[in-house]
Chain A
Amino acid sequence: MIEFRMPSLGADMEAGFLREWKVKPGDLVKRGDIIAEIETQKGIIDIEVFDEGIVGELMIAVDEKVPVGTLMTHILSAEEATADILPAQRKVETKKMAPATAIKQREEEISIQATAHHLRASPLAKKVAAEKGIDLSKITGSGPDGAIIREDVEKAVTDLIAPGPPTEKTAADNIRMAVAAAMSKSNREVPHYYLQSRVDMSHALSWLAETNKQKSVKDRLLPVVLLIKATAKALIDVPDMNAWWDNGLQRKKDIHIGFVVSLRTGGIIVPGIHDAGKKSLDELMKTLNDIIPRARTLRLKSSELADSTITVTNLGEGAVESIFGIIYPPQVALVGFGGITEEPWAENGMLAVRSVLHISLAADHRATDGNTGSQFLAAIKKHLMQPEQL
């Protein structure tokens, strides 16, 4: 039996609201299937399952606030599902419940029972209140002589747990608050160090222009895919940068690059490009075509927000030359690419004008030192100088 718990979709996330179950008990699911929709500060997120099996009892009601780590359901084997497991499973869960939670739940039960004796409430209202964990003493009755009726309880439930869909302004505010929380935490806890380097992009851009001539407009590559792929390859060369800091450096096997997408309404969102090192440039472009519009409309999958191993930000569209960013914990590095501009370039005793890109690295000094950061930037440069091998 595999426990399926509310995933964390970023260092800034404490809870989300379950908006829809996409499965029902007994459904067969496989890795990558969407089992629920959770509303977070970053929009409605499709929650994926990472195991294969049969869905057990759904332990969270729609519109309920669900703290990160809360048990939502179980993914069962065929044998477990065929056994009469659901009631037994519930008993086990109650026993396993942390003492404080169990006591709190018991206190709530007692509270409801006690108030029910003193308040005038219809039997149905009491039943619904008990089921939903609503304190009857806090409800104003609209029945005869002020008695609480079922509709009063249902209204209280609605008011309590379903604040309604956020307005556009609220969504932008939520994103702002999520960014504020994550960046404040990072700035408070992570000792950053910064490095910067320049790379001559003349050859890479010529190569890209030639490559794009062979492609239809729909399949053309943007320079950013070269930057993403070069970063992924550099992470293979310097794996300490592809890591999380969680009571020590934890290197990650897979390379999932978080790509910063600016929202025109304000704020940013950072969806992950999975297995960026294994994708061709064409595949990376297709991924961007898929992920950027979904990020802008706040329709991402849980894994796209949860498992990035590094962040890449590209502010090259405006007049910005360099970016000294803030790391998104628990990652240990952020790569910033500025604009590509023509600059004087000295090489082999000669001065020329070249298309130059400024690359910066913000890295966690608990995890790595300047020497490792320097090797990483050198590796990115090396790969950008050899675009045909990306």
Chain B
Amino acid sequence: MTEDEIRPIINKLLKKVAPETEPEKLKPDDNIQQTLAMDSFDYLQFIIGMDEEFGIKTPEEDYGRIMTLRDLLGYVMKIKK
């Protein structure tokens, strides 16, 4: 999958968890959780949605590696090569 394919899906999933936010305005190096004022509960719901959508299993130790949009897109692209 390409970045252009993944980004809209990420936006949709973030919007589902935090409907009051505008994930499409996230910049590549923004910390997603902080920028969208998501707590750890919201972020876990987002990762659950992401695992289901992309058919992946994100281990808990990887949570710290997908904090920014750039890192997250890179992470998914690597798995979905």
Contacts and interface: CB of A to CB of B under 8 A. Distances in A.
Interface in A219-257: 220, 222-224
A264 B57 contact: no
A209 B63 CA distance: 12
Which secondary structure characterizes the binding site on chain A? helix
Contact of B58 (A213, A217, A223, A224): A217
A317 interface: yes
B48 interface: yes
B30 to A, nearest CB: 15
Given A217-B47, A217-B51, A264 B60 contact: no
Contacts of B59: 213
A281 B56 CA distance: 26
Contact of A262 (B21, B33, B39, B40): B39
B4 interface: no
Given A317-B39, A318-B34, A220 B44 contact: yes
A212 B60 contact: yes
Interface in B22-81: 33-34, 37, 39-41, 44, 47-48, 51, 57-61
A288 B41 contact: yes
A209 B60 contact: yes
Given A209-B61, A264-B18, A317 B40 contact: yes
B60 A222 contact: no
A209 B59 CA distance: 10
B56 to A, nearest CB: 10
Contact of B33 (A209, A222, A264, A317): A317
Given A220-B44, A317-B33, A317-B40, A264 B51 contact: no
A66 interface: no
A264 B23 CA distance: 14
Contact of B41 (A212, A292, A318): A292
B5 interface: no
A218 interface: yes
Contacts, number: 33
B75 to A, nearest CB: 15
Which secondary structure characterizes the binding site on chain B? helix
A223 B41 CA distance: 10
A43 B33 CA distance: 26
Interface residues of B, number: 18
Given A217-B57, A264-B21, A222 B40 contact: yes
A288 B41 CA distance: 9
Interface centre among B21, B44, B58 (most CB of A within 10 A): B44
A220 B60 contact: yes
B18 A217 contact: no
Nearest to B50: A217
Contacts of A318: 34
Contact of A222 (B44, B48, B51, B61): B44
Interface centre among B34, B37, B39, B47 (most CB of A within 10 A): B39
Interface in A274-329: 288, 292, 317-318
B34 A218 contact: no
Interface in A158-196: none
A217 B48 contact: yes
A213 B60 contact: yes
A375 interface: no
Contacts of A217: 44, 47-48, 51, 57-58
A265 interface: yes
Interface centre among A223, A262, A317 (most CB of B within 10 A): A317
A201 to B, nearest CB: 14
Interface string A195-221: 000000000000001001100011010
Contact of B37 (A218, A222, A264, A292): A264
A209 B18 CA distance: 26
Interface of A: 209, 212-213, 217-218, 220, 222-224, 262, 264-265, 288, 292, 317-318
17 contacts: A209-B61, A217-B47, A217-B48, A217-B51, A217-B57, A220-B44, A220-B60, A222-B41, A222-B44, A224-B40, A262-B37, A264-B18, A264-B20, A265-B20, A288-B41, A317-B33, A317-B39
Report the 8 A-B pairs with minimum CB-CB distance, sorted nearest first. A264-B20, A317-B39, A212-B60, A217-B51, A222-B40, A264-B37, A217-B48, A292-B41
